Amino acid sequence: MLHALIMAGGAGTRFWPLSRHERPKQLLQLAGERTMIQMAVDRLAGLLPPSRVSIITAAHLVEPIRQQLPELPSGSILGEPCKRDTAPCVGLGAMLAAKNDPDATLVVMPADHLIEPVAAFRTAVASAAALVDEQPERIVTFGIRPTFPAETFGYIERGAPVPTVPADRPPSFEVVQFREKPARSIAEQYLETGNFYWNSGIFVWKAKTILAAIEKYDPKMYAHLVPIAAAFGTPEFQSVFESKFSEIKGRSIDFTVLEHYQPVVVVEAPFVWNDVGSWQSLAATHGTDAEGNTLIGKQIAIRSQGNVVYTTDDHLVAILGIDDCIVVHTPDATLVASKHEEEAVREIVKKLGEKSWKEHL
């Protein structure tokens, strides 16, 4: 059966000051009336019931997520006691799925992506699951055809096509290798060749396949996860979780498994994907005016181009004669930054911590 694991532990620091420690990006309404994590669960409807959806997040976010997703069983939302990157999260999620369903197929995805149309996403996941059923040792991922030479995304180099039946499935290819976030000149080469995709960070695999891979490539991590999964559902679970998980050396699933494993197949995504990684990414969801400004909330823009302005409907933000800036108003903090410095918003969050201004974190 198909199961889903949603990874929801990110801090969303690039969306400060809107994203905060207690209410990070995945809990925000950045593209409509539903939050990012609600939209992630929504797009699984029709593929599997809520009882087969699991969410792994930070411990302090478990209750806020439960409040946003009352349709999920409370035990399906787990809070990591500390951050350890994606590989331990994936491993634990796979172990818990395999506990209930030894032949489980698992779709793994982050909580903070925007994907449209949802029907195309469901078709793509069903196609990926079929590829896994045909060859259970396969790992399948989704590649996004790049539209510009992005330096902030990982890339997937595709190889020979994989025959698909029926023929109307999305195109699929063998993966030659995964590439790290490149310099602009390299990203331009990737775009020119046409053989590279952006790495979406969405995967489909058999739970037992990814667990065997983690055990092979990082046996220490695997050994720490085994007692956690064994204790699930018992009174000792929380104490075992906290003690064993904290001993794990954090690593990404890409670095731990995907860069070494074969066979890996990439499905060319038939959907539009936005990882909502920064304030500038809101242009894709909210659009721009004739001057290239993305304006959200009560605002006035005069002789200004290429800006992103975010405010509420009860607080006016006016910009005059400025270009390529980000202006974000919240009740207790305001950000004014150059678009070219957006990656450095994290430095503000770090500085707030150093000053012990926790009320702004």
Does residue 304 sit in helix, strand or coil?
coil
- Domain end among 213, 232, 261: 261
176 within some domain: no
Give the integer Cα–Cα distance in Å for 219 and 213. Answer: 9
Q: CATH number, domain at 62?
A: 3.90.550.10
Give the integer Cα–Cα distance in Å for 213 and 96. Answer: 16
173 within some domain: no
The confidence band for 96, taking pLDDT boundaries of 50, 70 and 90, is very high
Does residue 310 sit in helix, strand or coil?
strand
143 within some domain: no
Structure tokens given for 150: 């992005």
C-alpha dihedral (207, 212, 213, 215), degrees to nearest 10: 120
Give the integer Cα–Cα distance in Å for 288 and 269. Answer: 25
- Domain end among 229, 261, 293: 261
Phi/psi at 4 (5° precision)? -130, 140
Co-location of 81 and 39 in the same domain:
yes
Co-location of 295 and 256 in the same domain:
no
* Terminal-residue alpha carbon distance, the chain: 41
- β-strand pairing of 299-302 with 317-320: parallel
Co-location of 18 and 114 in the same domain:
yes
178 within some domain: no
Structurally, the chain folds into a number of domains equal to 2
191 within some domain: no
* Length in residues, the chain: 361
Torsion over CA: 223, 228, 231, 235 (sign): positive
Q: What percent of the chain has pLDDT over 90?
A: 86
Neighbours of 21 (CB within 10 A): 17
Among 57-66, 165-174, 181-190, 335-344, the least confident range:
165-174
309 within some domain: yes
Give the integer Cα–Cα distance in Å for 67 and 27. Answer: 11
- Strands, E, within the chain: which ranges? 2-8, 53-58, 77-80, 105-110, 114-116, 139-144, 155-161, 172-179, 196-206, 264-268, 272-274, 294-296, 299-302, 308-310, 317-320, 325-330, 333-338
Co-location of 255 and 314 in the same domain:
no
Structure tokens given for 227: 């007692």
Give the residue numbers spanning the domain of 286. Answer: 280-360
Phi-psi region of 164 (alpha: psi -120 to 50; beta: other; left: phi over 0): beta
Contact 200, 143 (CB under 8 A): yes
Co-location of 257 and 290 in the same domain:
no
C-alpha Rg value of the chain to the nearest Å: 21
Mean pLDDT of the chain: 94
User: Does the pLDDT of residue 115 top 80, yes or no?
Assistant: yes
Is the bond into 117 cis (omega within 30 degrees of 0)? yes
Question: Shortest CA distance to 56 belongs to which of 77, 27, 81?
Answer: 77
> What's the number of CA atoms in the CB half-sphere (13 Å) around residue 20?
15
Co-location of 205 and 62 in the same domain:
yes
Co-location of 354 and 213 in the same domain:
no
Co-location of 354 and 214 in the same domain:
no
The confidence band for 131, taking pLDDT boundaries of 50, 70 and 90, is very high
Is the bond into 166 cis (omega within 30 degrees of 0)? yes
Co-location of 291 and 335 in the same domain:
yes
Co-location of 224 and 317 in the same domain:
no
The confidence band for 165, taking pLDDT boundaries of 50, 70 and 90, is low
Give the integer Cα–Cα distance in Å for 275 and 113. Answer: 4
Q: What is the pLDDT of residues 311-347, one digit of tens each?
A: 999 999 999 999 999 999 999 999 999 998 988 999 9
Which amino acid does the sequence have at 320?
A: L
- Domain end among 261, 296, 313: 261
Is the bond into 171 cis (omega within 30 degrees of 0)? no
Give the integer Cα–Cα distance in Å for 341 and 338. Answer: 5
**Average of per-residue pLDDT across 89-107:** 97
Residue corresponding to tokens 């960070």? 201
Co-location of 12 and 111 in the same domain:
yes
User: Does the pLDDT of residue 164 top 80, yes or no?
Assistant: no
Co-location of 211 and 298 in the same domain:
no
270 within some domain: no
68 within some domain: yes
